Amino acid sequence: MGSANFGFAHSPGDSLAAILHDPDSLAPDRFNTFPFMKASNGIERRHDRNVEEGWAWGGIADNRQYGSEQILSTTLFRIYRHIGGDSDDLEERKSAARYMAYIIIKAVSGLTQITRNPDVFVSALIDADATTREHAGRTGGTLAKLFRWSFELQGLYQPPNTVFPVNKAGFPPAVDIYVDNGNNGIYQITPGDYSNQHGLWNRRAADAGSTHETPVIDEENFLYVKVGNRGTNNSQQVEVRAYTAGAAAANLEWPNSWIAIGTATAPTIAAGQKGLVGPIKWIPNAAGERILVSLSTPGDRSSAEKFGPGRSTKNKYLVLADNNLAERTM
């Protein structure tokens, strides 16, 4: 870039320090980036800054230097936590930290000039992930939506005619459909079991009932999915595809572990609204059968569509990074 600074922030230095040293840290405050600095020069640098207090892209603390660097490290550390940084497993935390550091550095290498627009770096992060086949035990191409969402949560993507400075999250994409697990499409850190999401359920009859019923083995059952749209535009031609992995153990891979069992569609899910999609007929073969649903619509395709023969990824990395996907153990 020919510069020591990004233009929209000083650099990714704080982000790399916080992420790389977090997995096995014993620090009493994991969000205090450089605790040894405060006594020497009065500066406190953190990576848990609140948008409401002005630590937003376009907020009062967004000074394009070290204030903005804390906004950036808060944004990127959140992504690290979502992809395994909050896991109870040390090796999972290390893998998440190494992958994030790799993608940050790779994204920097894709920049050619300084810019005051952080969205340029979002695009660079997405491209860095998409063009990575594998690193630190992780397959690339799963994190695009998580990158965009974390920057949105930190105040980027404000609507037209916004008065700055801001102290609130930005707007979602034009279309952002999701399996409604009760969180309105917002990504939540789930370091443990991710295979018991309640936005999809089974019924023993095609009655559009809203409560889960235990499937009956070797008989026709019916899957329903609650679909929401947190985007600003209506979604059209929503397609819900369902898959089974049987009574599978952990460490499932997409698409290798899965068999398609059916599809259902909805003509429209209006902006800010939710709808019930189904039924999808299926016949369970065993207790504890694992079901995966994948949503797609023009403008918001499922990340599962990026993978196919010769290219797979672990489900735990794919599902938690795309609100178009959900699993449930029946």
Q: What CATH number matches the domain at 177-329, 2.102.10.10, 3.30.2130.30, 3.40.50.300, 2.60.40.10?
A: 2.60.40.10
Is the Cα dihedral 153, 156, 157, 161 positive or negative? positive
| SS3 labels along 40-100 | HHCCCCECCCCHHHCCCCCCCCCCCCHHHHHHHHHHHHHHHHHHHHCCCCHHHHHHHHHHH
Distance CA 301, CA 304 (A): 8
Asked if 139 contacts 313 with a C-beta cutoff of 8 angstroms, the reply is yes
Distance CA 176, CA 168 (A): 19
Residue-wise pLDDT tens digits, 232-276 = 999 989 999 999 998 877 789 999 999 999 999 998 999 999 999
Name the pTM for this structure.
0.93
Q: What is the pLDDT of residue 256?
A: 92
**Ranges under pLDDT 50 in the chain:** none
The angle formed by the CA atoms of residues 263, 304 and 159, to the nearest 5 degrees, is 100
Q: What is the mean pLDDT of the chain?
A: 93
Taken as a whole, the chain contains a residue count of: 330
Percent of the chain with pLDDT over 70: 97
| CA count, 13 A, side-chain hemisphere, 93 | 15
Residue-wise pLDDT tens digits, 112-123 = 999 999 999 999
Beta bridge partners of 325: 294
Q: What is the pLDDT of residue 40?
A: 57
Residue-wise pLDDT tens digits, 92-135 = 999 999 999 999 999 999 999 999 999 999 999 999 999 999 99
| CA count, 13 A, side-chain hemisphere, 325 | 22
Q: What is the pLDDT of residue 189?
A: 73
Q: What is the pLDDT of residue 86?
A: 93
Distance CA 317, CA 330 (A): 21
* Domain chopping of the chain, boundaries: 13-153, 177-329
